[in-house]
Chain A
Amino acid sequence: MLKIENLQVAYGGIQALRGIDLEVPDGKIVTLIGANGAGKSTTLRTISGLVKAKAGSITYDGQELLGKPINQILEAGVAQVPEGRRVFANLTVLENLKAGAYLRKDKDGIKKDIQWVYELFPRLEERSWQLAGTLSGGEQQMLAVGRGLMSRPKVLMMDEPSLGLAPLVVQGIFDIIREINKQGVTILLIEQNANMALKTADIAYVLETGRITLSGTGAELLANESVKEAYLGKKRK
């Protein structure tokens, strides 16, 4: 289980996270929804080790991750699919996947996992020799997720995978998220598309200006009046 306690992060004088508590149990899909600037990305980036925290703790299976270098956090089994896809445009699709497995040394395992990713995303196999920069937005997102899976993470964190994609493609991405989860990968998902995220998630948290204000199962929050009003665009009658 990935467990976050009293996490505080500040950029200069600005408090981005004001002490949040979060639990991501094994095998679940957990989502964190919230408006722009609520601190969602900061949360993921702090877990990955890109951003330093002011206080608090982040543990995975009891092992403290906070303050560790990024590659050790990845080795502990926590990987991130960054916001905006960020595929390596100058590398081929296959090389992008291999880059995802950079820390691994088991060549046979890597080969197997490339096949696994190709099964999840057949489109990537067709384009394996293409430069990633020539892919469409949806394909790049598939590649970013596939690349994230190549480190064989126990927890895969995704930062707005639906950003800038057509509704039909978004549906496909969420189907894949469920599929990956069924195959045993725990998911921590950040979304502005609250409707899709809450429908997909087992557990959901609402983040507002650096604080967790609500939590519950995905279905509970979908039915919650204030969530409906703030994030689902439904008016209170």
Chain B
Amino acid sequence: MQGLLPYLINGVSVGGQYALIAIGYTLVYGILRLINFAHGDVFMVAGLIMVYSSATMPIYLSIPLVLVLTVILGFTIERAAYKPLRTAPRMSVMISAIGVSYLIQNLAFYFTGGLPQPVTNPIPWISDNVTLFGESTKRVTLVTPFLTVALVFALVYLINNTKIGMGMRAVSKDFETAQLMGIRINSVISMTFVIGSFLAAVGAMLYFTNYPSVAITSGGMPGLKAFVAAVFGGIGSIPGAVVGAFLIGISEELIKGLGYSTFSDAFTFALLIVVLCVKPTGLFGEKVTDKV
């Protein structure tokens, strides 16, 4: 049992990183009913920006730059690829999302020459090694869950207690009536992309601190797993995405700890299939109780 403890701690940390990405999926789905396939790639781009900016400028400039550029990227994707399709069938928007995903990967290929970009200057302090229960790990492992929980609380507060949050909840229920209240749905939708990209950028900085390099496909796996987490928790639900992400992160690491590393990815995707078969609305999914 003692031997599993470091894996558990690692799992909580990985879960936190998944959670930060999963919120982006679930927020956008909650409002647009769209699976934003480009979200994992936004995460990857945030990693690349971190690599380049931290190599050339001091930390107090590079972190804000990563956040700002990633937010601009998310905002631009929505305006350029999804907004023109607002009245189009949902399938068209989804195909557009897949297109954006490939576009971003190819642009990243162009910029990086297809080579993984080494993380030469990881963010100090959180990349320091610390010893925990006799195991050496990076401090980011300990910081991640706390930072994640703090950001989630801030987000839930924003959604439940502010005017823009109320607007988001109204728009998620009924576009047209929200418009009749004078709510500008386009700014509300942009806001969800801004929040989602911001959290993905934070997630990327934490995630890639633990990795030697960022490749153009680096967004794929964490993106997919965060998506599974969002579905597992009930897509559209923020608490669901967070709980789902932590459960998946912990399960994966425990499976590794038990010596079945080969199966840890398979477990996550098997979980997706089981959830879709048994409880498609997920742990905290919207119950359909609309009165006619």
User: Residues of A at under 8 Å CB distance from B?
Assistant: 48, 50, 70-71, 74-75, 79-80, 82, 86, 88-91, 95, 98-100, 102-103, 133, 137, 140, 147, 151
B163, B177, B290 — which one has the most chain A CB atoms within 10 A of its CB? Answer: B177
Which residues from chain A contact B173 at a C-beta distance below 8 Å? 88-91
Measured between alpha carbons, how far is A89 from B291 in the docked complex, in Å? 9
By a CB distance below 8 angstroms, the chain B residues around A102 are 163, 167, 181-183
Residues from chain B with Cβ under 8 Å of A147 in the complex? 181
Kindly list chain A residues whose C-beta atoms are within 8 Å of the C-beta of B180: 48, 50, 70, 74, 79-80, 82
- Taking a contact as CB atoms closer than 8 A, the residue among A50, A137, A151 that contacts B181 in the complex is A151
CB <8 Å contact, A88 and B176: no
Within the assembled complex, what's the spacing in Å between the Cα atoms of A103 and B166?
A: 13
Does B90 touch A at the CB level, under 8 Å?
no
CB distance from B184 to the nearest CB of A (A): 6
Chain A nearest CB, measured from B261 CB (Å): 42
Complex CA–CA separation, A89 to B182 (angstroms): 18
| Chain A min CB distance to B129 (Å) | 46
Whether a CB of chain A sits under 8 angstroms from the CB of B215 is: no
In the bound complex, residues from chain B placing their C-beta under 8 Å from that of A133 are 289-291
* Contact B179–A99 (Cβ < 8 Å): no
Cβ–Cβ < 8 Å partners of A91 in chain B: 166, 169-170, 173
Instruction: Give the contacts of B160-216 with A (CB-CB under 8 A).
Output: 163, 166-167, 169-170, 172-174, 176-184
A89–B287 alpha-carbon span in the complex (Å):
12
**A79–B183 Cα gap in the complex (Å)?**
13
CB-CB < 8 A to A48: which residues of B? 180
Once the chains bind, are A70 and B179 in contact (CB under 8 Å)?
A: yes
In the bound assembly, the distance between CA atoms of A50 and B185 in angstroms comes to: 13
Q: Which residues of A contact B169 (CB under 8 A)?
A: 88, 90-91, 95
A and B contact pairs by CB, cutoff 8 A, 26 listed:
A48-B180, A50-B179, A71-B179, A71-B182, A74-B180, A74-B181, A75-B182, A79-B180, A82-B177, A86-B174, A88-B173, A90-B169, A90-B172, A90-B173, A91-B170, A91-B173, A99-B166, A99-B170, A99-B181, A99-B183, A102-B181, A103-B182, A133-B289, A133-B290, A133-B291, A147-B181
Q: Is B182's CB under 8 angstroms from A88's CB?
A: no
Give me the 4 closest cross-chain CB pairs, A-B, nearest first: A103-B182, A71-B182, A86-B177, A74-B182
A91 to B159, CA, bound (A): 11
Contacts of B183 in A (CB 8 A): 71, 99, 102
CB under 8 Å from chain A, chain B span 271-292: 289-291
Distance (Å) between the CB of B212 and the closest chain A CB? 45
- Asked if A95 and B166 sit within 8 Å, CB to CB, the answer is yes
